[in-house]
Structure 1
Amino acid sequence: PSTPLVTTGAVDAASVSSKGGGFEYTNNPGSFIIERSSLLDSRVYDPKAISHQDFLMDYTDTNTTYSNGELIENHNPLGVVVHQETYAWNFPFADFFVILNFTIKNVSGKYLDSVYVGLWTDGVVRNTKITSPRTGSSFFNKGGNGFSDSMNIAYEFDAAGDIGFTDSYLGVQFLGSTPSLDSIFTNGTETLPSVNYVSWQFRNTDDPNFFAPNNDFDRYRKMQGYFGGQNRYNSGVSPEVLRQPSNRSLLITSGYYKNIAPGDSINVVYAIVCAKKYGTDAASLDTKEQKTNLFNNAEWALRAFYGEDRNRNGILDPGEDIDGNNSVTRYILPAPPLVPVVKVIPEKNKATIYWDKRAESSVDPISGKRDFEGYRIYRTQSGFDLSNIQDVLSSLVLLTEVDSVNDIGYNTGFEFVKLDQPVTFPGDTTNYYYKYEVNNLLNGWQYLFSVTAFDEGDEENNLNSLESSSLANLNRVLPGTPASEDDYIEVGVYPNPYYGSAIWDGSSERLRKIYFFNLPADCEITIYTLSGDVIKRLYHNQQNSGGDIRWFENFSSGSSQKFAGGEHAWDLVTDHDQAIATGLYLFTVKNNNNNKIKTGKFLIVK
């Protein structure tokens, strides 16, 4: 028999370097990744989009050199062109997976037979805020691995690294293909599965099972599900061995596809699935209970893939043709109501939340009904952001819920949040119909607010009530004093005195902050030593309230903050890039609208 040909996108490292071969796919000059979205208010909205965030790309293995003319080492092209699409949704029940949809076309002019398609991943599950990758091999050799043949998912977890800070699974799941394959097939005297899992150690050359394949023959054998010799997962290779910590990568494959004729294509679909470990078992273990969330999330990925094909038999049965196109439409999920448009206005010790009512006209794509039921308002507590690990989703606390008056839920109605007339704001054409005030907030502390919409549920399709994403319209605000043009209101600083190593500060000099308050809308703050030396000038206006200091870079997750307008943050670092010392400091505030100046002082104790 002839030697098999295998084309790889990478072989052992996540690198764009071509040195050493293995990076055998290329794209045409001028070919770019395209982004599109089904969300109407997205900057990349496209009616042809499948999900909330699609990425589309094309590449081929037909080239033997890179665009710079460099030879692709040891590359014997199969002659395929790949069109790849990825799909992701922001729904709370679907934001833990990404679907990867590959259409592989034979352009070789010859038949390709006994074809396998695989997705290889050099997965690492660690927490880089606890341990840096710069520690070298000790960072990468803590992963445990496994495979579920019932869910067709290979996975990795942290078996010995940042235990307690990485209680998660990373999964790679085979969803299906066209043409579809039977779960098992006969190859000579063997009965083999059509979905296979193998794993190998990073650049290993001598382990009989976990050696890294370095030629097409070895790679093809791995794609057939052979670790080494005739050994397969759970048949010559113990699952318990794979659970032990090591630096391994994983490969999940489907095949074989009997042949691909010249000009024909096959479609193969995978998903990347993430999940929090379930239960109270030790985080370093890999128990059946711990995989509860992983398998539930993987089931949602399957549900998205099968779309209208509810019984997953590959046939459009009566009652399944939701969109009326006489064929199975994939990638359809039940949908909660549209995400409300939200605006949060920070004030002194207070925040006011406004939102629109577009969610109320939402139509569920599965039931075809308008099934809006109500709204939920969420907020983080003060100090949620002080941890090295910000888990925004679990930090959001329900403030209130309002729902329609019917035979579902609390029947609160909307009267106590509904405005008499909708309001708009400068530069914002949205009509806001609802308002909710949150009092007793701490000035200068960071809060996140969100408003979600939820539906009635769908008993006919066995669906509980679905809720829009609480992360989709997050508003990050800092309550404080509003801008003041009153000549008789004094400016000030808090905390004053400032004591070093306060609970709200970070671990370094650049992660400290104080606030100036009662500022005019447009002003210049000048800070002096007692001897009159100018050490810092701050320029305050609507666009700049000090949100560019390191504290916000570290503790605001890269998103913008909304200040109340009359406050400005400072990190206690001078214009000469030096941290100020213990002492008493003076400051002036010049109102740029009338040139009037106010003065103040503050004490720093380190």
Structure 2
Amino acid sequence: IPLFLDVIQTSYSWGSTPLDEMIVYKFYVISRKYNLKDVYIAYWLDGNVGYRSNGWDFALDDYSVYYPDRKLGLSIDYPGGVDGQAISPIGVKVYPPNNFRSDSLKWTFNWYPGGGRGAPAGQDPIRYLEMSSGRIMENQVEPIGSQFIISFGPFNLNAGDTVSFYVGEILGKGIEGVLKNADRLDWLIRQNFRVPSSPPNPPLRVEEKNRKVILKWNPREGDVNPETYLDPYRADSSLKPFEGYRVYKSTRSSAGPWTLLAEYDLPDNKFGYNTGLQHEYTDLGLLNNFEYYYSVTAFSKPDTASDFPSQESSIYRNAKVVVPGAEPPPTVGQVAAVPNPYRGDIAYHTYDPQWEKPAGTRDRWMEQDRRIQFINLPVQCEIKIFTLAGDLVGTIYHDNPTKGYEDWNLTSSVGQAVSSGIYLFTVEDKNNGKIQVGKFVIIK
């Protein structure tokens, strides 16, 4: 029988410690038609803890544990099995609705084995009996898969009424880590989610030079200044909690992995290294025409009054891709094709930084990612590539006042991958008509 209920779910997550190992869901249950009596609500978890490969065997060594005082259920991966041992269990903590004390409700915890050997009944009357039983099953001993429900009630829900409640999905390093994060979530909800925040990202600017990159982040007129940001939700009453900057670099992607290059913080206080602030960093000794990634973040003082750690702005949102290189020469004469010879037996995509890398969002190297680069190009020129017999393979047009190179993916103008051989190229300077001729070798 339809109950004519609307259920609205909102979710909240955080990108920094100590709240980045939990997701909070808020549910709104609204009765649209009937006056409902003796209502029970259940939250169901099929944990499937561990690394999934093919099939579901990885989940068949999990087991369920319940902490009645916390209203917290855990799906835990037993050591061994096809997936080894997961770092974190999966915890679910259910909070009673507003205006209901936890001890005024009847709570139920039922677990079921995995692999299709048990699950909540498919018939509504039997499900209701399970949800309203008030039974707290003993913790699962045999690791044969973890599925469970946590339910609470009864209460009445008249037409037009809304009941809302929170559910926390909690991770952590081992069981102790989950329990610690569950305590942190209790505190978070008591705070009504008002917690210290990270500073805004610094206004990062980059300058690409010959074999070096210059990073600058001094706030200019109109920029957001992380050094003056306000945080009204700190318990230590420090309204301007800015502490310093961190400079990061990656040779792989804007998602990292990242290496910390420098840290600068305010002098003369009890936090950090008291280095003093800087707003510029120069990274030397780089390879020209390779991609590098940089980010500068701002971080705050820890809130010692609430034992809340220092917060750092997003390293990913401030990431910039940078390609150092020399300025274009005045004309042709020094153009070269690199690498020469191009060797198909070399995995150029494994270089650090990568010479060849998948385009777009792909994470696997493909044939069209091959790369020969024409360097030392003048501002405006036309590159033509020929076979040794004089057949035109492709044409590349270059018009860039700051970038003195162009890439070619070893594919002809008709989309065909080229074969091994000796190739000729010409580069015509469009400003003065001068032409340079060169050659390169491809060995596949």
TM bin, normalised by shorter chain, reads 0.7 to 0.9
CA distance in 2, matches of 1:163, 1:592: 63
- For 2:330, the equivalent position in structure 1 comes to 486
Kindly indicate whether structure 1 or structure 2 has the higher relative contact order, using CA contacts under 8 Å at least 6 residues apart. Answer: 2
- For residues 551-590 of structure 1, the aligned pairs below 5 Å read 565-590=403-428
Return the letter of the residue paired with 1:215: Q
Shift of the alpha carbon at 1:406?
2.0
Q: CA separation of 1:270/1:217 partners in 2, compared to 1, >3 Å: closer, same or farther?
A: same
Q: Is the 8 A contact 1:92 1:467 kept in 2?
A: no
Q: Is the 8 A contact 1:92 1:469 kept in 2?
A: no
- For residues 64-213 of structure 1, the aligned pairs below 5 Å read 76-120=1-45, 123=48, 125-126=50-51, 131=53, 135=54, 137=55, 144-149=62-67, 150=70, 152-155=72-75, 160-161=81-82, 167=87, 169-175=89-95, 177-182=97-102, 185=105, 193=107, 196=109, 198-199=111-112, 201=114, 204=116, 207=117, 210-211=118-119, 213=121
Q: CA separation of 1:487/1:522 partners in 2, compared to 1, >3 Å: closer, same or farther?
A: closer
Q: Is the 8 A contact 1:197 1:225 kept in 2?
A: no
- For 1:413, the equivalent position in structure 2 comes to 276
Return the letter of the residue paired with 1:349: R
CA distance in 2, matches of 1:435, 1:334: 27
- For residues 234-245 of structure 1, the aligned pairs below 5 Å read 234=139, 238-242=140-144
> 243, 257, 264: which is aligned to 2:161?
264
Cα deviation, 1:200-256, whole Å, max 9, x if unaligned, reads 546x3xx3xx24632223443554589xxx78351xxx24424xxx5x6x4543411
Shift of the alpha carbon at 1:455?
1.7
- For 2:197, the equivalent position in structure 1 comes to 335
- For 2:137, the equivalent position in structure 1 comes to 232
Q: CA separation of 1:567/1:94 partners in 2, compared to 1, >3 Å: closer, same or farther?
A: farther
Return the letter of the residue paired with 1:353: L
- For 2:260, the equivalent position in structure 1 comes to 398
Q: Is the 8 A contact 1:106 1:112 kept in 2?
A: no
Q: CA separation of 1:335/1:407 partners in 2, compared to 1, >3 Å: closer, same or farther?
A: same
Shift of the alpha carbon at 1:443?
3.4
Shift of the alpha carbon at 1:351?
1.9
Cα deviation, 1:455-493, whole Å, max 9, x if unaligned, reads 22222222333322322312233x342451510562223
Q: Is the 8 A contact 1:586 1:599 kept in 2?
A: yes
CA distance in 1, matches of 2:397, 2:125: 66
Determine whether 1:375 maps to 2:245: yes
Q: CA separation of 1:97/1:532 partners in 2, compared to 1, >3 Å: closer, same or farther?
A: farther
CA distance in 2, matches of 1:592, 1:221: 83
CA distance in 2, matches of 1:143, 1:349: 53
CA distance in 1, matches of 2:432, 2:127: 75
Q: CA separation of 1:397/1:200 partners in 2, compared to 1, >3 Å: closer, same or farther?
A: same
CA distance in 1, matches of 2:103, 2:390: 81
- For 1:64, the equivalent position in structure 2 comes to none
- For 1:497, the equivalent position in structure 2 comes to 341
Q: Which runs of 5+ in 1 are unaligned?
A: 1-75, 187-192, 279-289, 308-329, 418-433, 544-563
- For 1:306, the equivalent position in structure 2 comes to 190
CA distance in 2, matches of 1:252, 1:463: 32
Q: Is the 8 A contact 1:102 1:267 kept in 2?
A: yes
CA distance in 2, matches of 1:144, 1:594: 73
Return the letter of the residue paired with 1:412: T
Q: Is the 8 A contact 1:173 1:271 kept in 2?
A: yes
CA distance in 2, matches of 1:514, 1:103: 58
Return the letter of the residue paired with 1:573: T
Q: Which runs of 5+ in 2 are unaligned?
A: 220-224, 357-363
Shift of the alpha carbon at 1:268?
1.7
Q: CA separation of 1:110/1:175 partners in 2, compared to 1, >3 Å: closer, same or farther?
A: closer
Cα deviation, 1:182-214, whole Å, max 9, x if unaligned, reads 25855xxxxxx45x3634546x3xx3xx24632
TM-score normalized by the length of structure 1: 0.60
Q: CA separation of 1:220/1:499 partners in 2, compared to 1, >3 Å: closer, same or farther?
A: farther
Shift of the alpha carbon at 1:265?
1.0
Q: Is the 8 A contact 1:143 1:160 kept in 2?
A: yes
> 280, 288, 295: which is aligned to 1:443?
288
Cα deviation, 1:83-103, whole Å, max 9, x if unaligned, reads 332223333433443322111
Shift of the alpha carbon at 1:400?
0.9
User: Tell me, what secondary structure is at the counterpart of 1:232?
Assistant: coil
Shift of the alpha carbon at 1:374?
0.9
Q: Is the 8 A contact 2:59 2:114 kept in 1?
A: no
CA distance in 2, matches of 1:301, 1:589: 64
Cα deviation, 1:534-571, whole Å, max 9, x if unaligned, reads 3334455679xxxxxxxxxxxxxxxxxxxx83333443
User: Tell me, what secondary structure is at the counterpart of 1:515?
Assistant: strand
Q: CA separation of 1:222/1:404 partners in 2, compared to 1, >3 Å: closer, same or farther?
A: same
CA distance in 2, matches of 1:592, 1:173: 69
Cα deviation, 1:542-601, whole Å, max 9, x if unaligned, reads 79xxxxxxxxxxxxxxxxxxxx83333443333444333322223344556666554433
CA distance in 1, matches of 2:204, 2:50: 35
> 365, 371, 375: which is aligned to 1:517?
375
Q: Is the 8 A contact 1:125 1:156 kept in 2?
A: no
Q: Is the 8 A contact 1:481 1:518 kept in 2?
A: no
| Count of aligned positions | 418
Q: Is the 8 A contact 1:374 1:403 kept in 2?
A: yes
